[in-house]
Amino acid sequence: MPQITYDAYREDVVGRANVSDTPELIDYYRRLRTLGTGALWTVANKIEPWQPRSSSVPMIWRFQDLRGDVLRALDLVTPEQAGRRVIYLENKGRSDVVAAVGWLYSGLQVMKPGECASSHRHSASALRFIMEGAGAFTNVDGHKMTLGANDFVLTPNGTWHEHGVAEDGTICIWQDGLDIPLMNALDANFYEVHPDLRQAISHPVNDSLALWAGSGLRPAGQAWAKRYSPLLKYEWAPTYEALSRYAGVSDGSPFDGIIMDYVNPATGGPVMPTIGATMQMLRPGERTKAHRQTGSFVYQCAKGRGWSVINGQRFDWQERDIFVVPSWMYHEHANASVTEDACLFSFHDLPVMHALGLYREEALGENGGHQPVLS
Amino acid sequence: MPQITYDAYREDVVGRANVSDTPELIDYYRRLRTLGTGALWTVANKIEPWQPRSSSVPMIWRFQDLRGDVLRALDLVTPEQAGRRVIYLENKGRSDVVAAVGWLYSGLQVMKPGECASSHRHSASALRFIMEGAGAFTNVDGHKMTLGANDFVLTPNGTWHEHGVAEDGTICIWQDGLDIPLMNALDANFYEVHPDLRQAISHPVNDSLALWAGSGLRPAGQAWAKRYSPLLKYEWAPTYEALSRYAGVSDGSPFDGIIMDYVNPATGGPVMPTIGATMQMLRPGERTKAHRQTGSFVYQCAKGRGWSVINGQRFDWQERDIFVVPSWMYHEHANASVTEDACLFSFHDLPVMHALGLYREEALGENGGHQPVLS
Amino acid sequence: MPQITYDAYREDVVGRANVSDTPELIDYYRRLRTLGTGALWTVANKIEPWQPRSSSVPMIWRFQDLRGDVLRALDLVTPEQAGRRVIYLENKGRSDVVAAVGWLYSGLQVMKPGECASSHRHSASALRFIMEGAGAFTNVDGHKMTLGANDFVLTPNGTWHEHGVAEDGTICIWQDGLDIPLMNALDANFYEVHPDLRQAISHPVNDSLALWAGSGLRPAGQAWAKRYSPLLKYEWAPTYEALSRYAGVSDGSPFDGIIMDYVNPATGGPVMPTIGATMQMLRPGERTKAHRQTGSFVYQCAKGRGWSVINGQRFDWQERDIFVVPSWMYHEHANASVTEDACLFSFHDLPVMHALGLYREEALGENGGHQPVLS
Amino acid sequence: MPQITYDAYREDVVGRANVSDTPELIDYYRRLRTLGTGALWTVANKIEPWQPRSSSVPMIWRFQDLRGDVLRALDLVTPEQAGRRVIYLENKGRSDVVAAVGWLYSGLQVMKPGECASSHRHSASALRFIMEGAGAFTNVDGHKMTLGANDFVLTPNGTWHEHGVAEDGTICIWQDGLDIPLMNALDANFYEVHPDLRQAISHPVNDSLALWAGSGLRPAGQAWAKRYSPLLKYEWAPTYEALSRYAGVSDGSPFDGIIMDYVNPATGGPVMPTIGATMQMLRPGERTKAHRQTGSFVYQCAKGRGWSVINGQRFDWQERDIFVVPSWMYHEHANASVTEDACLFSFHDLPVMHALGLYREEALGENGGHQPVLS
């Protein structure tokens, strides 16, 4: 029978717990256990680490490795059976929950022309980033939006939504990003199926862009009190143009190159209260410096190829690959091309960090700001 | 010698002052006057009207009537002498202050190629709306912006700014809009001449648009704590496109047609804390209904021709004409063309009304929502 | 016939208008006038002063000088005739409006036991500060509040309100403070008489204090979205205690001694969106330094005696005297007693200054921070 | 070898996943696993429940059961060894983390006269609620606060803090409440020991109350930009008085009786960004109705005795007992005395729910609003 020890987390530092097990203490600890209690000093150093130690690990999922199996789902299950045909990404460090990193979920969804999932709503905030195919659409609270590659669309907390592909479209694959794990962790997850299974489209197609996509303009007299962006859809072409214009006048960030946040035009704030999203451009040959932040990130390469060094590990990526950066791990990015730019889409929980006053950021000071890469 | 009366504002309504002059009371009133006081009931009904009674009057200034005299200023004074060559608009009802309507100032400024005014800053918030000419530019806190017809540019409260026309440009005329009268009324007006007379241009030309004109995007990590829009310039072409897109999906407002507010992309709020600005489109043949609002408006026709009925008076306008709507006066607009749209730019003090909790709006209920026009 | 001149505001400073009248220019100016326009350079230096130049002047109204005439109103007019028996204070520099200073109104209201004014509401925000008498009460939107000397009560913008004195009370005098002039200046003043003339009292007497006067506590689940303080009444005894406690741990402000703002407990912000209120204590023998602020102030001495130097003029005050400080005029205060503290109540338009981004403050640097007093 | 099944979460409901295992699918699932992925439909119904299903369970810890073992810690470990002598409460459903309920930690700390723990700071927000003893004090960022029974004190996120008991005090026990589990879950937990081990007391003792405890008053000119309450300490006597006054004018909440939130007087919002705190009074004989909320609660009885029914289980409590209500479980309270009131202190994560837009509340409709109690 293995000996249970209680003093595994001792630290010989003033101000930290440093109590060795004795027979008397072990008896005491056992008695406390029977009372639904414990001695804080046996776990204090564990639960109050000097700095965050994420249980998530950096990982990459390459599109070419997954695409075949994603498509295979088309033959294996119907949307009616499966609800949605999605292959989710599982972080090796988070065996306890279905999460790609931190409390963020990511999956690859596939759909055939003519299919449309049933409508539902939930507490989780969700987004889609289109990977391939033509004819995809998403409906949100009566607004239908048509979607092409690298378009980004929201299906926020509490909105009725459904996805489909037009009859004359092609097989479509997109990344789904959600904060399902956070909603469960916070014991706040509700789910409803639409009473009619399919919602009515009550507005002109893509009307949210006609109202809210103006540059520095908003429809007058249209109050917007909801906590997510009324724009709902962010198209790739104007996003890429905006990055290009920005690159023409600024060096951007030393850590992220030319980087822009997708925002709620009614507030200038994040697109949803619990998930933010960002697009960044690495110019030809650009290599950024390392920093670390409180917050978890799911990246998808939207254009080009390159690599990122995360916590000392190098991950090479190209279009449609997905990789994750856990909280408080150093990360830096490089564009592998000296002639083409590379673009990275990401979504993250920085709005949570900011809402709760927990955001911190730190640059790597040593080694010219670059991490040594572990072999 | 004329008899002074104190009971001119009597109203025979319960809850209102209704005191007739008597010799005893008149003696009392005279004595109060010597003490730096007065009897409230002699003025209560005057200073507490049932609803706002603006001393400003509706007026129109037609560009063709003014253009010659505006250009004549080029020959009569130099920029060095005059500071700026501006013909200001004077509301007939506001002999006490230099105001176009309410506490808003408007003037037409003219400048020759190669000229540039000296740099200054002041408490007044200011804007320009370009009427004619090529090569105009405005510099704001080191940002230079080039300007064409119907472009709208801010020179906010507290920013160093100066205007000029490029050597290879043409004579330019623009409307200046400011809240100088409000700043004076609030005893809060400060003015400074730039110590070097001309400020350095420290950023790439038009860089504010490269950073902030993205649709649903903002530069990441760029906090913006100032109370005005970092975008600074709003160009005509994308504004017109945005209105057109909006018109494609919505009937807009029954009172204003297709109407959009220029906003601060960092907040979704007004462009400056004391002045808001708006562009609206009246579709071919469109005639809106009347409403009234707390707030004063200066309109400039940016495109087409039509008329507005303000407090029962009809004002016909075409491109570059300027007209004003005083607070709480009914107004409605009509496009005179059945084939072309018409566009009205306006600026106003609605941000003041909202900041102080004073905004009200009322539709005209009678007569199908249209005012009878006084002959 | 007097010669009209247009160049009276010339300044021989680079960047300022400096154009001399010539016959040609005078002709031009006359023509502009016929077009409803003028040349900016003839008035620019006037309307854009280097710093605020208030038309209000510092003044004091001593209670002993006014009390007799205030009481005389009881015999001269009935509440039914007069609406309210109020002697208003008139700033000598503001002949255009009924204002004590800036856009603030002040008056002394008197009422006999058993009287109660009819109920009304208006856009102006109002407050009362009780000067003498027992049994006064104010009703606001169904909440009745009983009032004693130095109690401070709100009747905010848009609330039904009425004042009275209980049958078993005594003759009461209080200061009324309102922003009637501002509401008129902004063309936003509405007035209504209550349809029943007297409102029903629908809550327990003084219930707003039972809900909102807790220190660091608020009723749970009671949202408060209105823009004024739900506390409504601020009693003198706990206010004086709070100042005394504060004085025990801090030197307070060099300009104002021990000074506390009355606040909205639901937000920590000002009591009403357009009027703020403050109570300050000058310790025995205390003499503060001079500063100036954008904003207008009406002071009433609540306790003790002393003097203030405003724009170089000395004003001696004692309990119940009222004096005013116009915007951007230096002011400093002194307690005339070396054994007793002195307290000054004030109300002001700082919330307007802050809401519009116009607040500025400047300490007097010279002469040890004290103004020379003009003889 | 046990058979792994993938279809355990099937639901035969339209819009939900309902895929039965087949050999082909099981092969597919195994292959997905090797790619760091899985099929969403095998877990969708589990991770998207119809409503929250907390893994925390309702529990009570009775003070009389724990007191002896808490005191025993005085003899078993020194503060230098243990850091702090604390017995933590462990929710039976949360074996994964040290939590009393949800992401909230609770522990009982004991200290002898003359002891003082070393100073530290951390990302976790913390509070103390004093259970017994005299002479306790807490220092926060240079402010020392003296503490008596039922006093409530904050040691917010990022503040240096330390606790002690005066030489002339008695043995003290208090409840520590923190969100350590949440900080770890969000990968945002930082910890630092004060470089001098003990911080300097740089302000007068209890000065935060002298500045911020005024009713409807705040020190003028004292901006407060931090996200926690500057009041820091909330004393029992004025809290109980406030509840009593509130009870005199209102029936309070049907679910909670007379209930007040401890607030930040600078904002009216919660005391800290991630933890809120509340005190409620159950009047003699009062029995409330059941409701459920998203959010986790730790209660401590501050006065009297009674019981609560949580998720159908009855928990009887008296002074100093601690019990917890997990998220979305019905709870109702009863005062066991018909002559004395009973008071419950609680802290909770409602500020997190509100900040992220996740708050929901639901009354129990059936059975007169009362849960059947499980035997």
**Mean pLDDT of the B328-342 span:** 98
Q: Where are the domains of chain D?
A: 1-50, 59-369
The chain D residues in contact with chain C (CB within 8 A) are 203-204, 206-207, 209-221, 224, 229, 231, 234, 238-239, 242, 245-246, 248-250, 253, 256, 259-268, 278-280
The residue ranges of chain A whose pLDDT is under 50 are 1
> Which chains border C (3 or more CB–CB pairs < 8 Å)?
B, D
Percent of chain C scoring above 90 in pLDDT: 95
pLDDT at B1 over 90: no
Could you read off the pLDDT of D326-352 as tens digits, one per residue? 999 999 999 999 999 999 999 999 999
Whether residue C374 is predicted with pLDDT greater than 90 in this model: the reply is: no
Contact criterion met (CB < 8 Å) for D15 and A157: no
Minimal Cβ distance to B229: which of A209, A216, A280: A216
For the segment C161-183, what is each residue's pLDDT rounded down to a tens digit? 999 999 999 999 999 999 999 99
CA gap C71, B339 in Å, rounded: 71
- Higher model confidence: residue C95 or residue B265? B265
Tokens of D282: 């159950």
Token pair in block for residue A37 = 């209690």
Could you tell me which chain A residue has the CA closest to the CA of B264? A216
Region B286-299 average pLDDT = 98
pLDDT at B272: 98
Residue A4: per-residue pLDDT:
78
pLDDT for res B4: 78
Q: Where does the pLDDT of residue C96 fall: very low under 50, low under 70, confident under 90, or very high at 90 and above?
A: confident
- The whole-number pLDDT of residue A3 equals 67
- D266 vs C214, C217, C268: nearest CB: C268
pLDDT 10s digits, B53-64: 999 999 999 999
Smallest CA–CA separation between C264 and chain D, in Å?
Answer: 6
Q: What is the pLDDT of residues C47-74, one digit of tens each?
A: 999 999 999 999 999 999 999 999 999 9
pLDDT of C222 above 90: no
Whole-angstrom CA distances from B166 to B109, B145, C1 are 16, 12, 47
What single string gives the DSSP state of each residue in A92-151? TT-TTS--SBTTBEEEEEEE-TT-BPPPEEESS-EEEEEEE-S-EEEEETTEEEEE-TT-
DSSP-assigned letters across all residues of D96-135: TS--SBTTBEEEEEEE-TT-BPPPEEESS-EEEEEEE-S-
End-to-end CA distance of chain C: 39
Buried b (16+ CB within 10 A) or exposed e, D305-344: bbbbbbbebbbebbbbbbbbbbbbbbbbbbbbeeeebbbb
Tell me the angle at which helices B63-76 and C23-34 cross, rounded to the nearest 10 degrees: 160
Amino acid (one-letter) located at D67:
R
Q: How far is A206 from chain B (nearest CA, A)?
A: 9
CA distance B148 to B240: 14
Per-residue pLDDT reduced to its tens digit, C193-208: 999 999 999 999 999 9
Q: For B280-289, write each residue's pLDDT tens digit.
A: 999 999 999 9
Closest CA to A139 of A123, A128, A150: A128
Instruction: Give me the phi and psi of D370, to 5 degrees please.
Output: -115, 140
B36 CB-near residues (< 8 Å, 6+ apart):
C59, C61, C89, C90, C91, C92
Query: For the residues D89-106, what does the mean pLDDT come to?
Result: 96
- State the chains in contact with B (3 or more Cβ–Cβ pairs under 8 Å): A, C
What is the residue-averaged pLDDT of chain B?
A: 96
Tell me the pLDDT tens digit for each residue of B219-253: 998 889 999 999 999 999 999 999 999 999 999 99
Pairwise CA distance, residues A325 & D123, whole Å: 21
Q: Which of A17, A82, A102 sits opposite D82 (nearest CB)?
A: A17
Q: Which of D69, D86, D296 sits opposite A35 (nearest CB)?
A: D69
The A-side interface with B (CB below 8 A) comprises 203-204, 206-207, 209-221, 224, 229, 231, 234, 238-239, 242, 245-246, 248-250, 253, 256, 259-268, 278-280
Cα–Cα dist B156/B148, whole Å: 20
Tokens 């016909």 found at: B316
Fold of B59-369: Jelly Rolls (2.60.120)
**Chain centroid offset of residue C344 CA:** 12
Structure tokens at D372: 């059947």
pLDDT tens digit sequence for D181-216: 999 999 999 999 999 999 999 999 999 999 999 999
Which of D205, D217, D241 to substitute to test the interface with C, most C CBs within 10 Å? D217
Q: By the 8 A CB rule, do D9 and D48 touch?
A: no
| Cα(B350)–Cα(B104) distance, integer angstroms | 11
Q: Under an 8 Å CB criterion, which residues of B touch A? A: 203-204, 206-207, 209-221, 224, 229, 231, 234, 238-239, 242, 245-246, 248-250, 253, 256, 259-268, 278-280
Chain C residues with CB under 8 Å of D229 CB are: 216
To the nearest whole Å, the CA of C242 is away from the closest chain D CA by 5
pLDDT at D143 > cutoff 80: yes
> How far does Cα A107 stand from its chain's mean position?
10
Q: What pLDDT, on a 0 to 100 scale, did the predictor assign at position D296?
A: 98
Instruction: Return the pLDDT at D2.
Output: 54
Quote the DSSP letter at residue C41.
Answer: G
User: What pLDDT sits at residue A179?
Assistant: 98
pLDDT mean across residues, chain C: 96
DSSP character for A368?
G
Interchain contact, B239 vs A217, CB within 8 Å = yes
Q: Model confidence at D51, in pLDDT bands (50, 70, 90)? A: very high
Chains B and D touch (3+ CB pairs under 8 A): no
User: Region D247-274: what's the mean pLDDT?
Assistant: 98
With beta carbons under 8 A apart, name residues in chain A contacting B221. 253, 256, 259
Kindly determine whether residue C260 and residue D214, on different chains, have CB atoms separated by under 8 Å.
yes
Alpha-carbon distance C270 to nearest alpha carbon in chain D (angstroms)? 10
Mean pLDDT of B275-297: 98
Tens digit of pLDDT for each residue in D308-323? Answer: 999 999 999 999 999 9
Do the two chains A and D touch, given a threshold of 8 Å on CB pairs and at least 3 pairs?
yes
Q: Could you tell me the pLDDT band of residue C100, with boundaries at 50, 70 and 90?
A: very high
Q: What ipTM was estimated for this complex? A: 0.97
What is the per-residue pLDDT across B26-46, written as a single tens digit (0 to 9) for each? 999 999 999 999 999 999 999
Q: Using one digit for the tens of pLDDT, what is the confidence trace for D124-133?
A: 999 999 999 9
DSSP per residue, A9-43: T---STTS------HHHHHHHHHHHHTTEEEGGGT
Interface touch A216/B263, C-beta < 8 Å: yes
Helix (H, G, I), strand (E, B) or coil at D240: helix
> What integer pLDDT is reported at residue A1 of this predicted model?
47
Residue-level pLDDT at A13: 93
The closest CB to that of C219, out of D204, D219, D246, belongs to D246
> Quick one: what percent of chain C has pLDDT higher than 70?
99
Q: Do A246 and B215 touch (CB under 8 A)?
A: no
* Chain D residues with CB-CB distance to C213 below 8 A: 215-216, 242, 245
Length of chain D equals 375
Q: Which residues of A touch B229 (CB under 8 A)?
A: 216
Nearest Cβ partner for C17 among B83, B122, B194: B83
Verify whether the Cβ–Cβ distance B353 to C49 is below 8 Å.
no
Is 60 exceeded by the pLDDT of residue C1?
no
From the list C290, C262, C288, C283, the residue with the least C-alpha distance to C348 is C262
Test mutation, B20, B24, B41, B173, chain C, max C CBs within 10 A? B41
Residues A94, A56 contacting (CB under 8 angstroms):
yes
Half-sphere exposure of A4 (CA within 13 A, CB side): 8
CA atoms within 13 A on the CB side of C155: 27
